[in-house]
Protein backbone atom coordinates (compact mmCIF):
# COMPACT_ATOMS: atom_id res chain seq x y z
CA UNK A 1 0.00 0.00 0.00
CA UNK A 2 1.36 3.40 -1.02
CA UNK A 3 0.58 6.86 0.36
CA UNK A 4 -0.49 9.58 -2.07
CA UNK A 5 -0.98 13.27 -1.31
CA UNK A 6 -2.48 15.30 -4.15
CA UNK A 7 -2.28 19.09 -4.30
CA UNK A 8 -4.31 21.15 -6.76
CA UNK A 9 -3.19 24.26 -8.59
CA UNK A 10 -4.48 27.83 -8.39
CA UNK A 11 -8.24 28.45 -8.40
CA UNK A 12 -8.96 24.73 -7.97
CA UNK A 13 -9.58 22.62 -4.85
CA UNK A 14 -9.22 19.05 -3.71
CA UNK A 15 -12.36 18.32 -5.72
CA UNK A 16 -10.42 18.27 -9.01
CA UNK A 17 -8.66 15.02 -7.97
CA UNK A 18 -11.95 13.15 -7.41
CA UNK A 19 -11.51 10.51 -10.11
CA UNK A 20 -7.82 9.98 -9.34
CA UNK A 21 -8.50 9.57 -5.61
CA UNK A 22 -11.20 7.00 -6.33
CA UNK A 23 -8.92 5.04 -8.63
CA UNK A 24 -6.00 5.04 -6.17
CA UNK A 25 -8.22 3.89 -3.30
CA UNK A 26 -9.80 1.18 -5.44
CA UNK A 27 -6.26 -0.03 -6.22
CA UNK A 28 -5.67 -0.48 -2.48
CA UNK A 29 -3.73 2.68 -1.65
CA UNK A 30 -4.20 5.66 0.66
CA UNK A 31 -4.93 8.94 -1.14
CA UNK A 32 -5.55 12.35 0.37
CA UNK A 33 -6.44 15.41 -1.76
CA UNK A 34 -5.59 18.62 0.07
CA UNK A 35 -7.62 21.81 -0.38
CA UNK A 36 -5.48 24.88 0.19
CA UNK A 37 -6.63 27.71 2.43
CA UNK A 38 -8.88 30.22 0.70
CA UNK A 39 -10.05 28.16 -2.28
CA UNK A 40 -12.48 25.35 -3.05
CA UNK A 41 -14.58 24.41 -0.04
CA UNK A 42 -12.27 26.63 2.02
CA UNK A 43 -13.05 29.75 -0.05
CA UNK A 44 -14.77 31.28 2.98
CA UNK A 45 -11.29 31.66 4.51
CA UNK A 46 -10.02 33.84 1.64
CA UNK A 47 -7.94 36.67 3.07
CA UNK A 48 -5.06 38.98 2.12
CA UNK A 49 -3.14 37.32 4.97
CA UNK A 50 -2.78 34.06 3.01
CA UNK A 51 0.68 33.56 1.54
CA UNK A 52 2.70 30.84 -0.16
CA UNK A 53 3.91 29.81 3.30
CA UNK A 54 0.28 29.28 4.37
CA UNK A 55 -0.17 26.79 1.55
CA UNK A 56 3.13 25.04 2.24
CA UNK A 57 1.96 24.57 5.83
CA UNK A 58 -1.44 23.29 4.61
CA UNK A 59 0.28 20.40 2.85
CA UNK A 60 2.92 19.76 5.50
CA UNK A 61 0.21 19.58 8.16
CA UNK A 62 -1.90 17.26 6.00
CA UNK A 63 1.03 14.83 5.71
CA UNK A 64 1.55 15.03 9.47
CA UNK A 65 -2.15 14.66 10.32
CA UNK A 66 -2.58 11.71 7.97
CA UNK A 67 0.55 10.15 9.55
CA UNK A 68 2.04 9.42 6.14
CA UNK A 69 5.61 8.50 5.29
CA UNK A 70 7.05 7.41 1.96
CA UNK A 71 4.63 9.82 0.30
CA UNK A 72 4.10 10.16 -3.43
CA UNK A 73 3.37 13.89 -3.58
CA UNK A 74 1.61 15.07 -6.76
CA UNK A 75 1.48 18.83 -7.27
CA UNK A 76 -0.42 20.57 -10.04
CA UNK A 77 0.43 23.90 -11.69
CA UNK A 78 1.00 26.62 -9.02
CA UNK A 79 1.47 23.87 -6.41
CA UNK A 80 4.85 23.09 -7.95
CA UNK A 81 6.02 25.90 -5.68
CA UNK A 82 4.69 23.95 -2.70
CA UNK A 83 6.11 20.61 -3.82
CA UNK A 84 9.55 22.12 -4.32
CA UNK A 85 9.46 23.66 -0.83
CA UNK A 86 8.45 20.35 0.75
CA UNK A 87 11.12 18.40 -1.11
CA UNK A 88 13.60 20.82 0.43
CA UNK A 89 12.11 20.84 3.94
CA UNK A 90 10.44 17.45 4.28
CA UNK A 91 12.31 15.32 1.81
CA UNK A 92 12.79 12.36 4.14
CA UNK A 93 9.00 11.87 4.17
CA UNK A 94 8.69 11.77 0.36
CA UNK A 95 9.16 8.78 -1.92
CA UNK A 96 8.51 10.66 -5.17
CA UNK A 97 7.52 14.17 -6.26
CA UNK A 98 5.29 14.41 -9.32
CA UNK A 99 5.02 17.81 -11.00
CA UNK A 100 1.75 17.69 -12.94
CA UNK A 101 2.16 20.40 -15.62
CA UNK A 102 3.53 22.44 -12.75
CA UNK A 103 5.81 25.33 -11.92
CA UNK A 104 9.38 24.22 -11.19
CA UNK A 105 11.11 27.33 -9.80
CA UNK A 106 14.72 28.31 -9.46
CA UNK A 107 15.76 29.39 -5.93
CA UNK A 108 14.43 32.88 -5.26
CA UNK A 109 11.75 32.75 -7.95
CA UNK A 110 8.04 33.24 -7.41
CA UNK A 111 5.08 31.67 -9.21
CA UNK A 112 4.93 34.82 -11.35
CA UNK A 113 8.63 34.91 -12.25
CA UNK A 114 8.35 33.07 -15.56
CA UNK A 115 5.12 34.76 -16.69
CA UNK A 116 5.04 37.47 -19.33
CA UNK A 117 4.82 41.07 -18.25
CA UNK A 118 1.28 41.29 -19.65
CA UNK A 119 0.11 38.28 -17.64
CA UNK A 120 1.72 39.55 -14.43
CA UNK A 121 0.25 43.02 -14.79
CA UNK A 122 -3.23 41.69 -15.56
CA UNK A 123 -3.25 39.31 -12.62
CA UNK A 124 -1.91 41.86 -10.16
CA UNK A 125 -4.44 44.43 -11.39
CA UNK A 126 -7.20 41.89 -10.80
CA UNK A 127 -5.97 41.30 -7.26
CA UNK A 128 -5.75 45.03 -6.56
CA UNK A 129 -9.34 45.48 -7.72
CA UNK A 130 -10.71 42.77 -5.41
CA UNK A 131 -11.78 43.18 -1.80
CA UNK A 132 -9.57 40.30 -0.62
CA UNK A 133 -6.53 40.88 -2.84
CA UNK A 134 -7.37 37.75 -4.82
CA UNK A 135 -6.69 36.64 -8.39
CA UNK A 136 -9.98 36.17 -10.27
CA UNK A 137 -10.51 32.69 -11.69
CA UNK A 138 -9.77 32.34 -15.42
CA UNK A 139 -12.01 30.75 -18.01
CA UNK A 140 -11.22 27.00 -17.91
CA UNK A 141 -11.25 27.04 -21.69
CA UNK A 142 -7.57 27.92 -21.19
CA UNK A 143 -7.08 24.36 -19.95
CA UNK A 144 -8.47 22.76 -23.09
CA UNK A 145 -11.64 21.63 -21.33
CA UNK A 146 -14.84 20.99 -23.24
CA UNK A 147 -18.41 19.93 -22.64
CA UNK A 148 -19.32 18.54 -19.23
CA UNK A 149 -15.70 18.79 -18.01
CA UNK A 150 -15.65 22.50 -18.87
CA UNK A 151 -18.94 23.16 -17.10
CA UNK A 152 -17.91 21.16 -14.01
CA UNK A 153 -14.62 22.98 -13.60
CA UNK A 154 -16.10 26.40 -14.39
CA UNK A 155 -18.72 25.98 -11.63
CA UNK A 156 -16.06 25.14 -9.07
CA UNK A 157 -13.16 27.49 -9.72
CA UNK A 158 -12.72 30.16 -7.04
CA UNK A 159 -10.55 33.25 -6.65
CA UNK A 160 -6.98 32.53 -5.51
CA UNK A 161 -5.09 34.39 -2.73
CA UNK A 162 -3.09 37.09 -4.49
CA UNK A 163 -0.09 37.25 -2.19
CA UNK A 164 0.89 33.75 -3.32
CA UNK A 165 1.55 35.08 -6.81
CA UNK A 166 4.73 37.08 -6.31
CA UNK A 167 6.10 35.42 -3.15
CA UNK A 168 9.68 34.18 -3.71
CA UNK A 169 10.73 30.71 -2.61
CA UNK A 170 14.22 30.07 -1.31
CA UNK A 171 15.35 26.45 -1.24
CA UNK A 172 18.43 24.26 -1.54
CA UNK A 173 18.42 22.47 -4.94
CA UNK A 174 20.67 19.72 -3.56
CA UNK A 175 18.13 18.83 -0.87
CA UNK A 176 15.15 19.21 -3.20
CA UNK A 177 16.78 17.06 -5.89
CA UNK A 178 17.41 14.23 -3.43
CA UNK A 179 13.73 13.32 -3.90
CA UNK A 180 13.06 11.37 -7.14
CA UNK A 181 11.03 13.54 -9.51
CA UNK A 182 8.69 13.20 -12.48
CA UNK A 183 7.45 16.08 -14.63
CA UNK A 184 4.17 15.36 -16.45
CA UNK A 185 4.00 17.64 -19.46
CA UNK A 186 0.49 18.30 -20.81
CA UNK A 187 0.71 19.59 -24.35
CA UNK A 188 -2.69 19.35 -26.11
CA UNK A 189 -3.16 22.24 -25.72
CA UNK A 190 -0.08 23.46 -23.87
CA UNK A 191 -0.74 26.17 -21.28
CA UNK A 192 1.38 29.23 -22.13
CA UNK A 193 2.32 29.99 -18.51
CA UNK A 194 3.83 26.49 -18.18
CA UNK A 195 5.59 26.59 -21.57
CA UNK A 196 8.48 28.52 -20.01
CA UNK A 197 9.01 25.65 -17.54
CA UNK A 198 9.25 22.81 -20.06
CA UNK A 199 12.74 23.70 -21.43
CA UNK A 200 14.12 23.56 -17.88
CA UNK A 201 13.48 19.84 -17.78
CA UNK A 202 16.06 19.32 -20.55
CA UNK A 203 18.54 21.92 -19.35
CA UNK A 204 21.66 20.18 -17.92
CA UNK A 205 22.43 23.30 -15.88
CA UNK A 206 19.00 23.63 -14.22
CA UNK A 207 19.29 23.77 -10.43
CA UNK A 208 23.05 24.03 -10.99
CA UNK A 209 22.91 20.60 -12.58
CA UNK A 210 21.13 19.03 -9.61
CA UNK A 211 17.90 18.44 -11.52
CA UNK A 212 19.56 15.54 -13.33
CA UNK A 213 21.36 14.29 -10.24
CA UNK A 214 20.12 13.48 -6.76
CA UNK A 215 17.21 11.08 -6.75
CA UNK A 216 16.83 11.30 -10.51
CA UNK A 217 14.26 12.95 -12.78
CA UNK A 218 12.11 11.93 -15.73
CA UNK A 219 9.70 13.72 -18.07
CA UNK A 220 6.49 12.08 -19.28
CA UNK A 221 3.94 13.52 -21.68
CA UNK A 222 0.15 13.33 -21.75
CA UNK A 223 -1.74 14.36 -24.90
CA UNK A 224 -4.24 16.55 -23.06
CA UNK A 225 -4.61 20.01 -21.57
CA UNK A 226 -3.61 21.51 -18.26
CA UNK A 227 -6.11 19.56 -16.07
CA UNK A 228 -5.24 15.91 -16.75
CA UNK A 229 -6.80 14.83 -13.45
CA UNK A 230 -10.10 15.84 -15.08
CA UNK A 231 -9.51 14.91 -18.72
CA UNK A 232 -7.22 11.86 -18.43
CA UNK A 233 -7.58 10.61 -14.84
CA UNK A 234 -6.92 6.95 -15.67
CA UNK A 235 -3.68 7.75 -17.48
CA UNK A 236 -2.51 10.12 -14.75
CA UNK A 237 -3.36 7.51 -12.11
CA UNK A 238 -1.15 4.98 -13.89
CA UNK A 239 1.73 7.44 -13.86
CA UNK A 240 1.28 7.98 -10.11
CA UNK A 241 1.17 4.23 -9.48
CA UNK A 242 4.40 3.74 -11.40
CA UNK A 243 6.03 6.47 -9.34
CA UNK A 244 5.10 4.58 -6.19
What are the boundaries of each domain within the chain?
Answer: 3-243
Kindly give the parts of the chain with pLDDT less than 50.
Answer: none
For residue 236, the tally of other CB atoms under 10 A from its CB is 28
Instruction: Identify the pLDDT of residue 214.
Output: 87
Instruction: Identify the pLDDT of residue 22.
Output: 98
DSSP per position, 179-215:
S-EEEEEEBTTBPHHHHTTGGGGG-TTGGGGGGGSTT
- The residue annotated as part of the active site, out of 77, 110, 112, 185, is 77
Q: Tens digit of pLDDT for each residue in 90-140?
A: 999 999 999 999 999 999 999 999 999 999 999 999 999 999 999 999 999
CB distance 113 to 105 below 8 Å: yes
Is 77 a catalytic site residue?
yes
Paired residues of 94 in beta bridges = 71
CATH architecture of 3-243: 3-Layer(aba) Sandwich (3.40)
Instruction: Identify the pLDDT of residue 215.
Output: 87
Among the listed residues 197, 198, 184, the one whose alpha carbon sits nearest the alpha carbon of residue 227: 184
Instruction: Identify the pLDDT of residue 198.
Output: 98
Paired residues of 96 in beta bridges = 72
Instruction: Identify the pLDDT of residue 20.
Output: 98
Cα angle value 64/197/63 (rounded, 5°): 5
Among the listed residues 189, 183, 195, 184, the one whose alpha carbon sits nearest the alpha carbon of residue 222: 184
Amino acid sequence: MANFVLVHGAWHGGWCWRHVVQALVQAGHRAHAVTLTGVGERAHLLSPAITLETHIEDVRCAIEAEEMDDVVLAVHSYAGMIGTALADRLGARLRHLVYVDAVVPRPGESWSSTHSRAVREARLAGAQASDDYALPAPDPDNYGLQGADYEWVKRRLTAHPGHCYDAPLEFDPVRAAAVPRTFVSCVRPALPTIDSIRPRMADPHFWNGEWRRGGGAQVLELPTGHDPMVTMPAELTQILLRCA
